[in-house]
Structure 1
């Protein structure tokens, strides 16, 4: 699975004033120019996300390191965060009764 598919959200891509940039590939083994670009973008570790304005300067920097990063619009970022929050939400406990079906109904009638 590619890095982009791992972070792709289920919303249409639209123009956004802010870009959310996530470093998904490691820095070791990259060119010095690419390391300096990532440093300028404040991306020091993998799976870190920063928000930058959508300007030609930033887009040029991202063009240099496009194989190392995933770029999301504001809507894509929010949709991904909501999806992750829903996945991590606390679910109600699963109640398992080990009694036979007839005994379980009898015990509930006796309690009433």
Structure 2
């Protein structure tokens, strides 16, 4: 929710047109990362029209800095809102990747 990543529809929907810096910080998930917190699985498509890919990179960096286990998968295409994965698309691989990650983490 902070510059330069604060030009999203989500920000306007959640915080309104003129949020304070304190509100932006409170809703910037990368600032809420701490250790200990559970391991995180991130997956996103570069062509996501809703959430800029830099949000995932930012979160990944925050998790790594805090020594929180993270696995990130970036897909070239796939858009937004995959559900279980758009059939015959690169993002259809994410459920199997997530399942393997869960198994590796002992869930």
Please give the TM-score of this superposition, normalised by the length of structure 2: 0.23
Q: With CA pairs under 8 Å and 6+ residues apart, which has the higher RCO, 1 or 2? A: 1
